Amino acid sequence: MRNKLAVMLALVLALNLGVAVQPAFAAEIETEATSAILMDAATGKILYEKDPHKELPPASVTKLMTLLVAADAIESGRVKLTDKVTASEKACSLGGSQIYLEPGETFSLEEMLIAIAVGSANDACVAAAEHISGTHEAYVEEMNKKAQELGLQHTHFVNSYGLPADGHYTSAYDLAVMGREALKYPLIRKLTSMKEYDLRGGQFKLWNTNKLLWWYQGADGFKTGWTNEAKYCLASTVERDGLRLIAVVMGVPQPRGHFAESMKIYNYGFAKYTFKEFAPAKSKQGTVLVRKGNGAVINAVTEKPLGVTVEKGKDKKFWVETKLNPEITAPVQQGQKVGEILLYLDDQVQASVNLVAETAVPRAGLYQQLTQTLKSVLGF
């Protein structure tokens, strides 16, 4: 009783003195980053932030968008990884991080992208940009168009490599959104998770500038950056036990500080949050009758895992609702949507996953359909 009275008196005194009182359970992260964010990759929910919308120079973290535009071009069929890319004089004239391209030197587009993702090569950025869009300037326009498509409000690019330029900026939040988009492309994670690569037949060794790949369990992307103006920056992603997080730190003053600050933020995230799975991928959630399919019944399975990121110990109020078509008409394709499964917290939907046909069912022939109809009518 005395302890409770002492606490109450201390609170009253603090309030009277104008002292800000923080709840005992409030989580605090002190970071030396000018701007930082921790985001749940699955939902985009912000788990921690510090001035996340502050417009800052990103240095070579710019190359995350460079890789995004390149991945788009490859996926759409405009270019191929096997394309031969020839370095222009403009590409070879850049300073900063580079693979020291010579005018006329040729690499595959894949090797140019590896040089960008692993070695942070500025010259490879221009060579790849000119190959994909015709000119470097046109490529930068595509980068800004992609930023608009993603709804980024605090981003504008002047070049594809990140050297200081007036009007070249982004924010920690916008970079996290770019990271979420990048996770849709297996190619980008493949490239940015490479620890090393032998270029020019082993004569030129590339080492990934992202030391989290060595130092932090589950790290598998994305990109570092440094200039005098931007200081040390890092946009990264880590996955552990089904929980994937994205962290961005910008404007960290000390060398290697972007790694230390990112690890501190990830430690907070993985200590406080967990991924709770309610239905595994491909798990059976019911059956569906297929009309005109010769009496076939198919299993409805989850298209992907149904789960949500929650604070540890706070997963008791979730419940699941299954919405399933009782019957559908043949033909049915494998993977065809036949319903959905929804995850609720109280009465609010937190996540949903399609239920799909586990197997295909062809349309029955006319004789089979007549036979099936007679059986249902006559009861045999």
Q: Where do the domains of the chain lie?
A: 35-275, 280-378
In tens, the pLDDT along 233-278 reads 999 999 999 999 999 999 999 999 999 999 999 999 999 999 999 9
Q: Is 60 tagged catalytic? A: yes
pLDDT confidence band for 291 (50 / 70 / 90): confident
So what's the pLDDT on residue 368?
Answer: 53
So what's the pLDDT on residue 326?
Answer: 87
Catalytic residue among 35, 88, 120, 236: 120
Catalytic residue among 35, 50, 60, 292: 60
CA dihedral 50, 54, 57, 60 (to 10 degrees): 50
* Contact by Cβ (8 Å): 46, 52: yes
Most confident among 7-16, 224-233, 286-295 (mean pLDDT): 224-233
So what's the pLDDT on residue 9?
Answer: 38
- Burial class of residue 158, CB neighbours in 10 A (0-12, 13-18, 19+): middle
Q: In this structure, which topology does domain 280-378 adopt according to CATH?
A: Peptidoglycan synthesis regulatory factor (PBP3), Domain 2 (2.60.410)
Q: Which residue has the higher pLDDT, 371 or 311?
A: 311
Q: Which residue has the higher pLDDT, 204 or 293?
A: 204
Mean pLDDT of 116-128: 98
Distances from the Cα of 110 to the Cαs of 78, 92, 190, 194, in angstroms? 14, 18, 11, 13
Residue type for 294, please?
N
Q: Is 76 tagged catalytic? A: no
Q: Which two tokens stand for residue 75?
A: 């996926």
So what's the pLDDT on residue 14?
Answer: 37
Examine the pLDDT at 173 and tell me if it is beyond 60.
yes
pLDDT confidence band for 315 (50 / 70 / 90): confident
So what's the pLDDT on residue 5?
Answer: 40
Examine the pLDDT at 373 and tell me if it is beyond 90.
no
Examine the pLDDT at 3 and tell me if it is beyond 50.
no
Strands 243-252 and 306-311: unpaired
So what's the pLDDT on residue 279?
Answer: 94
So what's the pLDDT on residue 322?
Answer: 95
Examine the pLDDT at 367 and tell me if it is beyond 70.
no
Residue type for 248, please?
V
Mean pLDDT over each residue of the chain, to the nearest integer: 90
In tens, the pLDDT along 78-119 reads 999 999 999 999 999 988 999 999 999 999 999 999 999 999
Query: What CATH superfamily classification does 35-275 receive?
Result: DD-peptidase/beta-lactamase superfamily (3.40.710.10)
So what's the pLDDT on residue 20?
Answer: 35
Q: Is 120 tagged catalytic? A: yes
What is the DSSP secondary structure assignment for residue 62, as one 8-state letter?
A: G
So what's the pLDDT on residue 376?
Answer: 55
Nearest-angstrom CA–CA distance, 342 and 355 = 10
Nearest-angstrom CA–CA distance, 124 and 74 = 16
Mean pLDDT of 165-181: 98
Mean pLDDT of 70-77: 98
Examine the pLDDT at 288 and tell me if it is beyond 90.
yes
